[in-house]
Copies of this chain bind each other. A is one copy, B any other.
Amino acid sequence: MNAQTMDFVERMGLALESDGLPRIAGRIFGLLLLSEDCRSLDDLASELGVSKGSVSTNARLLQQRGVLERDSRPSDRRDYYRVQPDLFTHTMAQRLARWQRFHEAIGEARTTLPIRSRKVLHRLEEYQAAYAFMSEVIHEGLTRWQGKRERRSAVAGLHR
Contact = CB atoms under 8 A, between A and B. Distances in A.
B133 A141 contact: yes
A134 B124 CA distance: 27
Contact of A134 (B15, B92, B117): B92
Contact of A36 (B101, B102, B113, B120): B120
B88 A130 contact: yes
A145 B134 contact: yes
Contacts of A109: 8, 34
Interface string A4-42: 110010011001001110000000000001111000000
Interface residues of A, number: 47
Contacts of A116: 36
A127 B88 contact: yes
A4 B113 contact: yes
A5 B141 contact: no
Given A133-B141, A137-B137, A36 B117 contact: yes
A93 to B, nearest CB: 11
Interface string A89-124: 100100000000110011001001111110110011
A87 interface: yes
A120 B30 CA distance: 12
B92 A127 contact: no
Contacts of A106: 33
Given A2-B113, A34-B109, A134-B138, 8 more contacts: A4-B112, A5-B113, A15-B102, A33-B120, A33-B123, A36-B120, A92-B134, A133-B148
